[in-house]
Amino acid sequence: MIESETQSINTSVNKIHFRTPTVEDGPVVWQLVQATGTLDVNTAYFYLIFCDEFQNSCLVAEQAGQVVGAVLGFRRPKSIDTLFCWQVGVLPSLRGQGLAKKMLKAWLRMSGNESVTRVQATVAEDNVASDRLFRAFARELGSQCTVTPWLTPQLLPSGHSAEPLYDISPIALQSGAVTATH
């Protein structure tokens, strides 16, 4: 089993490292999600479990030892070739630098994802930034981004806008799985 995977990029501010999370990252990711001010915040327990049990389909971005971004996802049980993006978030101070898209690309290239042929996510209809992110991600991959109704307001808590399903496919991964470090 892979203990940790890492990859680095340079930004205008400082070097950012991508890696798989550990259970210890759970509370930090929970705080990150709160700090974004835009994501639905789940319980701290949720982030502990995701960072531990689903670590091979999640990614954190670290800058100078601080978690500054995260992608939480999982393989869909009914469609194992599909990576579902539960949440992608970046600290407000690093927005507008393309970090979210770089995280998604690194997330897709993590070892174990070689058989992925599609990425899916839901995006609230009023979330213009996420809509643009996933459409741009699809374009960079040379894939289609199909948006279809899925989670309607009737299924969601009162006041929550609909969350259609974004389906990015087909994906033909190039070479370059993230290298494991121990």
pLDDT exceeds cutoff 50 at 13: no
| Nearby residues of 157 by Cβ (< 8 Å), 6 or more positions away | none
Residue 89 · residue 42 · CB < 8 Å: no
Question: How is residue 57 written in tokens?
Answer: 């389909």
Rounded CA separation 127/133 (Å): 10
pLDDT digits (tens, 9 = 90+) for 126-167: 899 999 999 999 999 999 999 999 999 999 888 888 999 999
pTM score of the predicted model: 0.87
Domains of the chain: 4-181 (3.40.630.30)
β-strand 59-63 against 66-76: which pairing, if any?
antiparallel
Please classify residue 173 by burial: count the beta carbons closer than 10 Å to its beta carbon, then call 0-12 exposed, 13-18 middle and 19+ buried: middle
pLDDT digits (tens, 9 = 90+) for 82-137: 999 999 999 999 999 999 999 999 999 998 898 999 999 999 998 999 999 999 99
pLDDT for position 160: 87
Alpha helices (H) along the chain: 26-36, 44-53, 99-108, 128-141
